[in-house]
Amino acid sequence: MDVCTKITRSRGFEKQLDKVPDFIRKKVLFWVFLVESNGIWEVMKSPGFHDEPL
pTM summary value: 0.76
For the segment 12-40, what is each residue's pLDDT rounded down to a tens digit?
999 999 999 999 999 999 989 988 888 88
The structural domains of the chain, with segments of one domain joined by +, span 1-54
The Cβ-side half-sphere exposure at 28, using a 13 Å CA radius, reads 14
Q: What local confidence, expressed as pLDDT, does residue 12 receive?
A: 93
